[in-house]
Amino acid sequence: MSRSCIRKSSRGSEYTVLRVWRANDTEVPPEREPDRPLAAWAGRDRILGQVMPALTIILKTGGCAHNRCRMCSYRHVRYGRLTQVELEAGLLAQLAWIRNNFQLDDYEAVKVYTSGSLFDPKEVPVQARDALAKMMRGKLVIAETRPEYVNVDDLNKFLTLIDNGTHETPLFVAMGVETSNDTIREKCIDKGFSWDDFVRATARARSAGAGVKAYLLAKPPFLTEREAIDDMISSVRDLSGMADMISLNPCTVQRNTELEHYWRLGAYRPPYLWSILTILSQSPVHLTCDPLGGGQERGPHNCGVCDGSLVKGIRDYSLSADRMLLSSLLATSCPCKEEWEFVLQEERSYCMPLTR
């Protein structure tokens, strides 16, 4: 029998950084397997103050109904035109692949992502969603969705299928609110919903007995470095006490996106790692952060000299919540810190970015 092999690339979005396949030359390579998740990987996550083994899954689905976010490349990796029956069959085959490639008993938590929303029945047929829930029974499940698909009846059913009494809160609804600023969310990201929509969805999730996880996007297009830092700090404060968990996602430049167009023109630079450390250090609550693409030109980066140690430190902090580690990372000596400080002082929206 072949062994499972995990390979990791720092390119892409938060969701498309890991490909998993069996290390056997006689088997079909990943690019030729139509009915496997877009990505799946094992790791550890800090959830509600506890570090636990977690399985992350990104399902290939019918695609996000909104499909307009400026930085998202998931419109290119959805299924084509399928009937609901065909779509359901494809998703069930992906679930079978997960069962065949992972020992589910090894993981206490499972994070489920899609092209948009697990609870959109057109993107993920109800029968396939129910099958996923039954497969994850007894796990702590974090499931991504847009606010408009947070429905009490759907959440109640999903909770009933996954809950066996192991966890006090077995389901956390994860929403990419990105920022608490409606203007930035609409004009810079084109997210298609408001802060009030998110607040109402949070209330519906809680009324169904689910928890809430919020994702923030550090430095979407059109913001200066200073504006991006200030936006994240104010957004974290607005979310404190509302979301059970907050994840800080530094923006990366994904291929075939509107953001990539601006980046190629020299009109966008991903955030400095110094900025990410500043946001983490000034947050009143613990933020998890995995700076994907860290140290590369398409991801959050500094000068290339100090990047590796800072990226590792940020990931270590996500698990440890050690504030002293953040202080130590911020005290790192590197000439590029002066460049970053100059950018914070001098960069203006009409002449940005000042650096690449």
All structural domains of the chain: 4-351 (3.20.20)
Could you tell me the maximum CA-CA distance found in the chain, to the nearest angstrom? 60
CB-based contact 163:155 (threshold 8 Å): no
Overall average pLDDT of the 229-256 stretch: 97
Query: pLDDT tens digits for 31-65?
Result: 435 689 999 999 999 999 999 999 999 999 999 99
Share of the chain above pLDDT 90, in %: 85
User: Confidence class of residue 75 from pLDDT cuts 50, 70 and 90?
Assistant: confident
| Closest residue by Cα to residue 330 from 292, 273, 291 | 273
Integer Cα distance of 258 and 268 in angstroms: 11
pLDDT at 107: 98
User: Confidence class of residue 16 from pLDDT cuts 50, 70 and 90?
Assistant: very low
- Tell me what percent of the chain is helix, strand and coil, each rounded to the nearest 5: 40, 20, 45
Report whether pLDDT(153) > 70: yes
**Bridge partners for 288 per DSSP:** 247
**Bridge partners for 212 per DSSP:** 173
Integer Cα distance of 294 and 307 in angstroms: 7
Report whether pLDDT(2) > 80: no
Q: Which residue has the tokens 């139509």?
A: 34
Report whether pLDDT(21) > 70: no
| Closest residue by Cα to residue 228 from 269, 256, 262, 285 | 269
Within 13 Å, how many C-alpha atoms sit on residue 85's CB side?
0
Q: Is 79 exposed, middle or buried (0-12, 13-18, 19+ CB in 10 A)?
A: middle
CB-based contact 63:78 (threshold 8 Å): yes
pLDDT at 178: 98
CB atoms near residue 190 (< 10 Å): 16
CB-based contact 190:69 (threshold 8 Å): yes
- Please tell me the least confidently modeled range out of 21-30, 51-60, 172-181, 245-254: 21-30
| Closest residue by Cα to residue 46 from 213, 201, 162 | 213
* DSSP sequence for 197-225: HHHHHHHHHHHTT-EEEEEEEES-TT--H
| Closest residue by Cα to residue 279 from 223, 353, 211 | 223
Q: Mean pLDDT for the chain?
A: 90
pLDDT at 33: 52
pTM (predicted TM-score): 0.89
pLDDT at 35: 84
Report whether pLDDT(240) > 90: yes
Report whether pLDDT(27) > 70: no
SS3 category, 311: helix
- Please tell me the least confidently modeled range out of 74-83, 113-122, 181-190, 228-237: 74-83
CB atoms near residue 154 (< 10 Å): 19
pLDDT at 7: 32
Question: Token pair of 204, please?
Answer: 């519906």
- Cα angle 248, 252, 257; round to 5: 130
pLDDT at 86: 94
pLDDT at 246: 98
Share of the chain above pLDDT 70, in %: 90
Integer Cα distance of 285 and 278 in angstroms: 13
Report whether pLDDT(232) > 50: yes
pLDDT at 26: 29
Radius of gyration of the chain (CA): 20
Integer Cα distance of 212 and 330 in angstroms: 30
- Please tell me the least confidently modeled range out of 96-110, 200-214, 342-356: 342-356
| Closest residue by Cα to residue 246 from 276, 285, 209, 207 | 285
Report whether pLDDT(290) > 90: yes
Query: pLDDT tens digits for 315-340?
Result: 999 999 999 999 999 999 999 999 99
